[in-house]
Amino acid sequence: MPDAQAIHQFWRHIHATQDAALLATIIQKLVARSSLPPNLDHLRIDGLPDSPGVYLFYGENGLPLYIGKSTNIRQRVLSHFSADHRNHKEMGLSQQLRRIDWVATAGEWGALLMEAKLIKQLQPAHNRRLRRKNSLCAWQLQQQDGHLRPVLAWAEDVDFGAQTGLYGLYHSQRDAQKALRGIADQNQLCLSVLGIEKTAEGRPCFAYQLKKCKGACIGQEPALNHAARLLMAMDKLKLKTWPYPGAVGIQEGDEIHVIDHWCYLGTAKNSGDLYDLLASTRPAFDRDTYMILSKALKASKHLVYLDARPKSHDGADFCG
């Protein structure tokens, strides 16, 4: 009790003699200080670089816990620990942590691509958003029975990197149909024509009875009109067609990120790396990688065309 009374008296004293805003600022700084995990080698923390890249948290037995990326690895890693006593998730991560590794990259695009690749390879326990999902499907528009209808195409059957006329990317048939229902509702499209709802021939769909369909199901709206409206509604979901004859590279600092048909082949630091990547098998199409690369190609001013293969492994310069 004497200790508690002394602390209480001190607390009352500083509030009586100090500015409230100053006290709030000091308290915030104290609370935000990093509390390093108890089982982590602190010398490893000192070696963290102030540069872009990916960092990897490991638990007992080398179990991957979490993978993140940042333009400043050191700053981002320390931010995890500064919040560990206020955030239940960060607290749990801190207690499980045993080792930290990192991969430095030349810039932000390299960090984004490396993060997505490593998360799918290592399946860390705390990365749920970017973890591998086996199924991937998209809509294709096909002419059937006099109507233009959306039909599901699966990545196991169609090369999404090379196929044209794909709309949306979904991890299940349920997700795809839910999205299509939303589009139909917003654009007064016929659920029967779209294949979402089964109706007897000549009978209106349920949406028509709610005045959310213009009558394509009963011939009141011409099939051509419905098809045109469907194309317009789906246009915003259309996947970009790969615009190059082969692989290209995005140069970032002294590295080249090699991509082919929306697939990330890897990052080259010399002509030998480049040769090996161009000779490698293109990986399976990945939704997260596609999203990153579609933005990267639009934003990048340093596109490298890789029509010619490097001629040797011994050069330090790139060929392309």
| pLDDT at 242 exceeding the cut of 70 | yes
What pLDDT, on the 0 to 100 scale, is given for residue 86? 59
Which pLDDT tens digit goes with each residue over 295-314?
A: 998 887 788 888 644 444 44
What pLDDT, on the 0 to 100 scale, is given for residue 45? 85
Rg (CA), the chain: 27
What pLDDT, on the 0 to 100 scale, is given for residue 320? 43
Residue 67 burial (CB count, 10 A): 25
Helix and strand numbers, DSSP H then E, in the chain: 12, 10
Which pLDDT tens digit goes with each residue over 70-124?
A: 999 999 998 888 755 556 777 778 889 999 999 999 999 999 999 999 999 999 9
Question: What does the alpha-carbon distance between residue 272 and residue 312 come to, in Å, rounded to a whole number?
Answer: 7
Which one is predicted more confidently, 272 or 1? Answer: 272
| pLDDT at 263 exceeding the cut of 90 | yes
Strand partners, 143: 148
| pLDDT at 127 exceeding the cut of 80 | yes
C-beta separation of 113 from 259 below 8 A:
no
Which pLDDT tens digit goes with each residue over 280-293?
A: 999 999 999 999 99
Q: What global pTM score does this model have?
A: 0.77
Nearest to 277, CA basis, from 243, 242, 313, 315: 313
| pLDDT at 145 exceeding the cut of 90 | no
Instruction: Among 127-136, 143-152, 282-291, name the one with the lowest average pLDDT.
Output: 127-136
C-beta separation of 207 from 199 below 8 A:
no
Sheet with 64-70, edge to edge strand ranges:
64-70, 53-58, 99-104
Question: What does the alpha-carbon distance between residue 216 and residue 239 come to, in Å, rounded to a whole number?
Answer: 27
| pLDDT at 131 exceeding the cut of 70 | no
C-beta separation of 258 from 249 below 8 A:
yes
The encoded tokens of residue 143 equal 């002419």
Q: Which helix (H) or strand (E) element contains residue 103?
A: strand 99-104
What pLDDT, on the 0 to 100 scale, is given for residue 314? 43
pLDDT cut 90: percent of the chain above it: 65
